[in-house]
Amino acid sequence: MYVAVAAGGFRRYATYRAATAAGVFTNTVFGLILVYTYLALWDVKPHLGGYDQAQAVTFVWLGQALYATLAIQGGGFETEFMERIRTGEVAIDLYRPADLQVWWLANDLGRAVFQLLGRGVIPFTFGALVFPTALPHDVGTWLAFLVAVALAMVVSFGIRYLVALTGFWLMDGTGALQALMITGIFCSGMTLPLNAFPGTLGEVVRVLPWAAQVQVPADVLMGQADPLPAFAFQAVWAVVLLAAGRLLQTAAARRVVVQGG
């Protein structure tokens, strides 16, 4: 059943072809702007964060490819889920013979896979063709990268599920979504690779769950990190976040019952 839910999530986004094409265009434009600023930065400071210029460029295009996939700034299932919480329709979902968390996870994974294929591949290919990039030649590294991306999808879901659940207490999700935007952009490396962050700030952001989203897959792809410890880092965060979501969901479900009766 959850496979069908995921397929539904995939198909739903596949319907909007013009929107997808527009997204590809936008990601390419932003990628171009970022690439030039990174090149200027690495020009002044070669090997910043242990990357050479080609690696910095690769990082930019990976970020653009994963931006919609991992819903870095939001824009996944959470808006709809929060709306259902606000209107109370979530009560119906709770009575369904499906697990709420797994149901939304399946839905969001379907969306993420579509965004990766629909919005990710083209900007990335463009970037790799036009600029010198640091891409591996062996299939194994690419497979490891895909595993890292899959784990990143789960971590991303875990974070957004927690944010969405705050809707049970806050009702208005504007503030929570804004916080999601800020942390997503800043802590996942969309503005600057996390290994180029200075000092203590850099050490802190590299152990936060957001690091599992762009930084870790990028380092796996470019051979900067060993796959197994990288997977372990992502998996630990995925489990912790999903468990926290499960706990919060139980508390929230009780709240719905209290309100209803």
Binding-site ranges for other proteins (CB under 8 A): 16, 18-19, 21-23, 25-26, 29-30, 32-33, 36-37, 39-41, 44-45, 48, 172, 174-175, 178, 181-182, 185-186, 191-192, 196-198
> Closest approach of Cβ 56 to other proteins, in Å?
12
In the complex with other proteins, the residue whose CB is nearer, 3 or 22, is 22
In the complex with other proteins, the residue whose CB is nearer, 171 or 240, is 171
> Closest approach of Cβ 196 to other proteins, in Å?
7
In the complex with other proteins, the residue whose CB is nearer, 151 or 192, is 192
How far apart, in whole angstroms, are the C-alpha atoms of residue 170 and residue 168? 6
In the complex with other proteins, the residue whose CB is nearer, 5 or 72, is 72
In the complex with other proteins, the residue whose CB is nearer, 30 or 126, is 30
Q: Compute CA distances 45 → 49, 190, 258, whole Å.
A: 10, 19, 59
How far apart, in whole angstroms, are the C-alpha atoms of residue 235 and residue 179? 24
> Closest approach of Cβ 121 to other proteins, in Å?
17
Q: At what angle do helices 139-165 and 227-260 cross, to 10 degrees?
A: 20
CA dihedral (218, 220, 226, 230) positive or negative: positive
> Closest approach of Cβ 112 to other proteins, in Å?
18
CA gyration radius for the chain?
A: 19
In the complex with other proteins, the residue whose CB is nearer, 177 or 248, is 177
Q: Which helix (H) or strand (E) holds 19?
A: helix 17-44
> Closest approach of Cβ 219 to other proteins, in Å?
19
> Closest approach of Cβ 5 to other proteins, in Å?
24
User: Three-state DSSP class for 213?
Assistant: coil
Query: How many separate helices (H) and strands (E) can be counted in the chain?
Result: 13, 0
In the complex with other proteins, the residue whose CB is nearer, 29 or 143, is 29
How far apart, in whole angstroms, are the C-alpha atoms of residue 167 and residue 244? 15
- Where helices occur in the chain by DSSP H, the ranges are 2-14, 17-44, 53-69, 78-87, 90-95, 100-115, 121-130, 139-165, 167-170, 174-187, 199-207, 215-221, 227-260
> Closest approach of Cβ 10 to other proteins, in Å?
18
Token reading at 23:
């997204």
Among 28, 258, 204, which residue's Cα sits nearest to residue 128? Answer: 28
